[in-house]
Amino acid sequence: MQQANVDRKFLLPAIIGAALSLFLLRTGILAFFFLVPLGFVSYRYDYKSAWTAFFFAALGNFVLAAGARASGAVSLTDTLWDIFYYGLMAFIFTGIIAPPPALSAKYKEAVRFFCGSCLGALLFIYLFLQMAASPVYLEYVDYLLNAVFQVNRSSGADVVQNALLGNVSAELVLQTIQAVMLRGGSLVSCVLLFALCRQISLFLARLSLRKRNPSETAPLTEASSIASFRVDPMVIWVFSASLLLVVLTGMAGLEIPEIILWNILVLCVIIYFTQGLGILQFFFARFASPFSKIFFLVLLVVVLFSPFLNLLLLGGLFLLGVAENWVPLRAPKKNGPPSTPEAGDDEDEMSGGD
């Protein structure tokens, strides 16, 4: 009887999390957050509950997609892609934040996160190429362009601007988007999806635990911190080599090697940008007062939504992350008694294992 109560205690959140994930996926405007319920179950309970939620979510999505196909609302191809896309993305995300203990001990979360993002980026690219090849999608892009042109013309734009917009075709737009997606755009999109869903899941899990048992929020608070994230020094050589080879392959017209090198370069930029964020969080946590933390947080949000300033901020954080290869920005204080290395310094380093 007691075992049944324990099973029900963890089975019910898994079912609810799976149902909420499927609901968000089909709401349209909130579909971007469809992984949040699965992440909440993972952080709030354990990896068994997380994988149970994944199983119910994948099964439920299969039933819903098959039902839509049986009713004739969608084609067989769209049905198969719906099942495959949701199943793979949910599987990757669950594997990142709630792996089995053996896998968690061998591969740190940073390694799982970036490897999973690369795998998800491949899926994004393939789905976009399939979608861009559809005549229906081409007609939809052409319709949007005509709508933008009509709005721009009715707003009294000058003749030169109207002429420039008139030269933009749906084929040109798709080619531009495809070039960006292949050269790191899909990777950035996948990183943003996983990172945002992870942070929201952590926030909701901490909020839930704080109301029930505040002492249990400490591990989640540590998990949400990137102040101890450190990049392996060898990554700077990968970044430098990929930057040089991108230029050379572009000049030589080698498209496939150029695309691969662009994605390696973008991945290195994301990694160093993350290290820059970790440095910023480190100094905020150590030196900033509660009032100044709120002030800088509000300032950070304002800058992110300000044109040109946001580019300066993003570039500055990237350079800050790169600079730590030569300047120990997070070195422990020298005054006072000797201290042990900061907790987590080695745990989050970009390495393959222990």
Same domain assignment for residues 284 and 341: yes
22 vs 60: CA distance, rounded Å? 8
CB atoms within 10 A of CB 4: 9
Name the range with the highest mean pLDDT among 27-36, 67-76, 125-134, 215-224.
27-36
Asked whether residue 168 is assigned to any structural domain, the reply reads no
Q: Of 198, 224, 250, which one is at a domain's C-terminal end?
A: 224
CB 148 within 8 A of CB 165: yes
278 vs 276: CA distance, rounded Å? 5
Average confidence (pLDDT) over 212-216: 59
CB 230 within 8 A of CB 345: yes
Asked whether residue 151 is assigned to any structural domain, the reply reads no
Asked whether the predicted pLDDT for residue 128 surpasses 50, the reply is: yes
Same domain assignment for residues 77 and 202: yes
pLDDT of residue 161: 60
CB 201 within 8 A of CB 39: yes
- Region of poorest pLDDT, from 180-184, 288-292, 312-316, 347-351: 347-351
**Mean residue pLDDT across the chain:** 81
Residue range 318-336, pLDDT digits in tens: 999 999 889 888 766 554 4
- Region of poorest pLDDT, from 13-27, 90-104, 116-130, 220-234: 220-234
Same domain assignment for residues 129 and 250: no
Asked whether the predicted pLDDT for residue 304 surpasses 80, the reply is: no
120 vs 37: CA distance, rounded Å? 19
Same domain assignment for residues 24 and 47: yes
pLDDT band at 56 (very low <50, low <70, confident <90, very high): very high
- The total number of residues shown for the chain amounts to 354
CB 107 within 8 A of CB 352: yes
Asked whether the predicted pLDDT for residue 345 surpasses 50, the reply is: no
Residue range 242-276, pLDDT digits in tens: 999 999 999 998 999 999 999 999 999 999 999 99
Same domain assignment for residues 12 and 113: yes
- Region of poorest pLDDT, from 19-23, 230-234, 276-280, 327-331: 327-331
Same domain assignment for residues 252 and 104: no
Same domain assignment for residues 198 and 248: no
CB 314 within 8 A of CB 300: no
CB atoms within 10 A of CB 346: 13
Q: Of 203, 224, 245, which one is at a domain's C-terminal end?
A: 224
Where in the sequence is the domain holding 201, given as residue range(s)?
1-135+185-224
79 vs 68: CA distance, rounded Å? 8
Q: What angle do CA 239, 185, 351 make, to 5 degrees?
A: 40
Q: Which two tokens stand for residue 76?
A: 């067989």
Same domain assignment for residues 195 and 322: no
50 vs 31: CA distance, rounded Å? 20
Q: Of 224, 247, 275, which one is at a domain's C-terminal end?
A: 224
Average confidence (pLDDT) over 55-74: 89
Asked whether the predicted pLDDT for residue 118 surpasses 60, the reply is: yes
Asked whether residue 149 is assigned to any structural domain, the reply reads no
Q: How far is CA 264 from CA 184, 246, 248, 292, 323, in A?
A: 8, 10, 15, 37, 19
Same domain assignment for residues 277 and 200: no
Report if pTM > 0.75: yes
Same domain assignment for residues 194 and 308: no
Number of structural domains the chain divides into = 2
> Strands, DSSP E only, in the chain?
none
pLDDT of residue 140: 77
Same domain assignment for residues 87 and 119: yes
Q: Which two tokens stand for residue 241?
A: 């080599």
Same domain assignment for residues 208 and 96: yes
